[in-house]
């Protein structure tokens, strides 16, 4: 979740949903519904990180580490009331994702209490996926047990690298030896595991990256996320690069590292299902993240959190104190919102779908309203053929079949390296 909020229309104080959204909600009962819960606390701010998170323990009334869970539960109640007032048919939560920040800086009992409130207010579907992010240092046997008992099903550990000098450049405070221990603790508690890695850190050699990948493979997590390091504006990392203290990111080096990740992960039985995400099978994919990429509905609770319901996006005020103050005054914590027009929907649909292994239904896309009179050529046979010829789209997937009458646009390995460029080409 980026920490800079987009422009948009102001959110009404009561957070009520516009008529168009209410009408659409009634027809979306078959769409999965997810909940994102933002925990805006970290022990240390990593130099590369732009997420909406704070190291202070107390950020104001209702926004200290102790009082924040109650504020968050207040938003969940507010969400249930808002949906009810809009006449939305009740939908149980198919996924819940606690992200941050570092959710596990709160006691596991508090995370369990927040989950229990969500369950009581919305219900969870049978087999719902419930994830929390965690730093390796914040996971103990007792806390893993509490999470599993409360209904959490997976934990995503921020490992980033197995190499001490790379971790130091990233300002990570955990000892690499804590990762196997934390991973084993999660396994013993019966939780699914995911490990986050970052590649392309200044000073990281290809050998360093290979070592990190092989360390991950020794642990055999259910899921691996491999992110290229992004230099976010305004971070300590960006200042270090600007001052010449650290080398800049090298796109070719990052491409080589993505290729190595794909090679080693694939050989070890992992398959990509989104450009940066690999899993051991369909049942170990992150269903919650797939919701984002597949344009389903989710409520994002917490400061700066983004939500999406029936073509409307909104985002909460960013600072935890302002967030708490609004909720405790009985107002919506929403800051701004926008109703996506047809052009924005097409653009978003195309960008998100192309990033996942299922790819983009060409028939479905061609049926969508196009991008305005002066804009792009729609996806045409000619353009698809060109991209296939250039090795950026899978030839077989692009063929029409009974299940996919106009074929699908699925990125090849080379295409995944150039996903943004392929998207731009498809937009004309």
Ligand X SMILES: C[S@@+](CC[C@H](N)C(=O)[O-])C[C@H]1O[C@@H](n2cnc3c(N)ncnc32)[C@H](O)[C@@H]1O
**Residues in the site for ligand X, rule: CB under 6 A?**
48-49, 51, 99-100, 102, 133, 135, 158, 160, 196, 198, 227, 229-230, 232
| Paired strand residues for 408 | 361
Task: Check if the beta carbon of residue 182 is closer than 8 Å to that of residue 136.
Answer: yes
Q: Which of 158, 202, 300, 311 touches ligand SF4 (CB under 6 A)?
A: 158
Could you tell me the two tokens for 272? 């990509």
Start-to-end Cα distance in the chain = 28
**Residue 393 lies near ligand SF4 (rule: CB under 6 A):** no
For ligand SF4, which stretch binds (CB under 6 A), given 12-20, 40-48, 81-89, 273-281?
40-48
Cis ω on the peptide bond leading into residue 101 (within 30° of 0)? yes
Residue 425's binding partner among ligand X, ligand SF4, none (Cβ under 5 to 8 angstroms by kind) is none
**Residue 103 lies near ligand SF4 (rule: CB under 6 A):** no
348 DSSP assignment: H
Residue 117's binding partner among ligand X, ligand SF4, none (Cβ under 5 to 8 angstroms by kind) is none
Q: Which of 11, 25, 37, 42 touches ligand SF4 (CB under 6 A)?
A: 42
Minimum distance of ligand X from residue 229's CB (angstroms): 5
Q: Which residue, 46 or 79, has its beta carbon nearer to ligand SF4?
A: 46
Residue 45's binding partner among ligand SF4, ligand X, none (Cβ under 5 to 8 angstroms by kind) is ligand SF4
**Residue 45 lies near ligand SF4 (rule: CB under 6 A):** yes
**Residue 101 lies near ligand SF4 (rule: CB under 6 A):** yes
Of residues 49-68, those binding ligand SF4 (CB under 6 A): 49, 51, 53
C-alpha–C-alpha distance, residues 130 and 365, integer Å: 32
381 DSSP assignment: H
For ligand SF4, which stretch binds (CB under 6 A), given 2-10, 31-39, 45-53, 273-281?
45-53
Distance, C-alpha 386 to centroid of its chain: 32
For ligand SF4, which stretch binds (CB under 6 A), given 43-51, 72-80, 186-194, 234-242?
43-51
Minimum distance of ligand SF4 from residue 246's CB (angstroms): 17
For ligand SF4, which stretch binds (CB under 6 A), given 42-50, 83-91, 254-262, 324-332?
42-50
C-alpha–C-alpha distance, residues 199 and 252, integer Å: 12
Q: Please give the angle made by the CA atoms of 403, 407 and 413, to the nearest 5 degrees.
A: 115
Residue 311's binding partner among ligand SF4, ligand X, none (Cβ under 5 to 8 angstroms by kind) is none
Q: Which residue, 318 or 345, has its beta carbon nearer to ligand X?
A: 318
C-alpha–C-alpha distance, residues 418 and 378, integer Å: 20
**Residue 69 lies near ligand SF4 (rule: CB under 6 A):** no
State the number of CA atoms in the 13 A half-sphere of 158 facing the CB.
Answer: 21
Minimum distance of ligand X from residue 299's CB (angstroms): 19
The number of beta carbons lying within 10 Å of the beta carbon of residue 230 is 15
C-alpha–C-alpha distance, residues 330 and 352, integer Å: 35
- Return the H-helix or E-strand segment holding 264: helix 251-267
C-alpha–C-alpha distance, residues 324 and 74, integer Å: 9
Residue among 332, 300, 273 nearest 97 (CA): 300
Residues that bind ligand SF4 (CB under 6 A): 42, 45-46, 49, 51, 53, 100-102, 135, 158
């Amino acid at each position: 979740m980026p920490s800079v909020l987009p422009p948009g229309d102001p959110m009404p104080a009561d957070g009520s949903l516009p008529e168009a959204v209410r009408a659409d909600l009634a027809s979306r009962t078959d769409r999965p519904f997810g909940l994102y819960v933002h925990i805006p606390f970290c022990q240390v701010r990593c130099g590369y990180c732009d997420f909406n998170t704070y190291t202070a323990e107390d950020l104001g009334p209702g926004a200290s580490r102790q009082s924040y869970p109650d504020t968050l539960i207040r938003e969940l109640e507010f969400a249930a009331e808002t949906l009810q007032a809009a006449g939305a048919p009740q939908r149980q939560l198919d996924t819940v994702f606690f992200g941050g920040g570092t959710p596990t800086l709160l006691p596991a009992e508090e995370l369990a209490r927040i989950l229990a409130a969500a369950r009581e207010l919305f219900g969870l579907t049978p087999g719902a996926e419930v994830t929390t992010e965690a730093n390796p240092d914040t996971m103990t046997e007792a806390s893993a047990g509490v999470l599993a008992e409360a209904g959490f099903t997976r934990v995503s550990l921020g490992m980033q690298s197995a190499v001490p000098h790379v971790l130091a450049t990233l300002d990570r405070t955990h000892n690499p030896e804590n990762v196997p221990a934390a991973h084993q603790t999660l396994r013993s508690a019966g939780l699914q595991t995911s490990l986050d890695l970052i590649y392309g850190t200044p000073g990281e050699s290809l050998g360093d990256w290979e070592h990190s990948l092989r360390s991950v493979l020794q642990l055999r997590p259910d899921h691996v996320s491999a992110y290229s390091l992004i230099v976010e504006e305004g971070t300590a990392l960006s200042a270090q690069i600007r001052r010449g203290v650290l080398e800049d990111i090298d796109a070719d080096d990052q491409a080589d590292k993505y290729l190595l990740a794909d090679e080693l992960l694939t050989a070890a039985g992992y398959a990509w299902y989104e450009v940066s995400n690999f899993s051991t099978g369909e049942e170990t994919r992150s269903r919650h993240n797939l919701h984002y990429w597949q344009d389903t509905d989710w409520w994002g609770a917490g400061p700066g959190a983004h939500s999406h319901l029936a073509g409307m996006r909104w985002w909460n005020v960013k600072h935890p104190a302002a967030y708490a103050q609004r909720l405790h005054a009985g107002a919506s914590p929403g800051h701004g919102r926008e109703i996506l027009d047809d052009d924005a929907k097409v653009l978003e649909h195309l960008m998100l779908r192309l990033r996942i292994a299922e790819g983009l239904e060409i028939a479905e896309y061609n049926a969508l309203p196009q991008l305005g009179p002066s804009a792009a050529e729609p996806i045409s046979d000619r353009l698809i053929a060109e991209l296939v010829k250039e090795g950026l789209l899978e030839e077989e997937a692009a063929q029409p079949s009974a299940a996919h009458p106009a074929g699908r646009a699925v990125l090849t390995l080379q295409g995944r390296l150039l996903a943004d460029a392929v998207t731009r080409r498809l937009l004309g």
